[in-house]
């Protein structure tokens, strides 16, 4: 079963096309959509998020077959804490793109949105889809795994970050063994990454092993994690 069907319980549907004539649609796509989308990006970088939404909506009205428009809109909705609406737009972007491996980061963002509406079980589900898909990413010179943002679109996530995020949700539902395992996977990716050590501190505190927990907090602080530094100073 493909990831899209497993995640959403259906196959991708055919994206509806505009009813304008081909010549008219081409002109709009080549001129107005570029203007609207570039303006949306400009507004995003000025932190005028609601203006950015307005302009990207205009672009989508004219062309509903470009996954970048919906992925951009989803990110802006996420940043304005409209998480349920963001999930809907991420799903549209994934569906339009057609290649789950290429848009694995959007599955991660759906997980992040579920975390923010206090649904850790769904967050774990979508973090897992993202991790499994990135493991299949070829990451060669003609299909780079970019692991970052591009003009307001989440085009990739670091594996270590995804492991920590999933581990955090496991911790939230008290699956401490799985949470610990994800921390270890993150450390394997980068043993100088401070976040898994901070999460291990939280896991061991939750398990009632305070003395061992402090050692992880100290490691996180030593690696430059400012939250860990603050927490140590407050002890």
Residues 6 or more apart whose Cβ sits within 8 Å of residue 177: none
Q: Is the dihedral angle over the CA atoms 201, 204, 210, 212 positive or is it negative?
A: negative
pLDDT band of residue 54 (cuts 50, 70, 90) is very high
Residues 6 or more apart whose Cβ sits within 8 Å of residue 87: 74, 110, 113, 114
Helix 83-97 × helix 67-79 angle, to 10°: 160
> What pTM did the predictor assign?
0.91
What domains does the chain contain, in order, with CATH numbers? 159-235 (1.25.40.10)
Q: What pLDDT shows up at residue 21?
A: 46
Q: Which of 36-50, 65-79, 129-143, 199-213 has the lowest mean pLDDT?
A: 129-143
Given a cut of 50, is residue 22 above it in pLDDT?
no
């Amino acid at each position: 079963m493909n990831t899209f069907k497993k995640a959403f319980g259906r196959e991708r549907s055919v994206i509806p096309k505009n009813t304008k004539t081909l010549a008219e649609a081409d002109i709009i796509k080549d001129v107005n959509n570029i203007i609207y989308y570039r303006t949306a990006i400009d507004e995003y970088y000025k932190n005028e998020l609601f203006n950015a939404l307005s302009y990207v909506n205009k672009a989508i009205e004219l062309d509903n077959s470009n996954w970048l428009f919906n992925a951009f809109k989803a990110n802006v909705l996420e940043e304005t804490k409209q998480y349920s609406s963001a999930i809907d737009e991420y799903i549209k972007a994934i569906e339009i793109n057609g290649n789950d491996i290429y848009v694995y980061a959007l599955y991660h963002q759906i997980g992040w949105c579920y975390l923010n509406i206090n649904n850790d079980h769904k967050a774990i589900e979508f973090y897992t889809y993202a991790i499994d898909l990135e493991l299949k990413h070829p990451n060669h010179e003609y299909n780079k795994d970019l692991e970052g943002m591009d003009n307001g679109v989440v085009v990739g996530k670091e594996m270590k970050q995804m492991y920590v995020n999933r581990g955090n949700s496991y911790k939230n539902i008290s699956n401490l063994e799985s949470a610990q395992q994800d921390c270890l996977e993150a450390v394997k990716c980068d043993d100088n990454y401070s976040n898994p050590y901070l999460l291990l501190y939280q896991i061991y505190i939750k398990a009632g092993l305070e003395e061992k927990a402090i050692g992880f907090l100290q490691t996180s602080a030593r690696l430059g994690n400012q939250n860990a530094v603050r927490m140590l100073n407050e002890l």
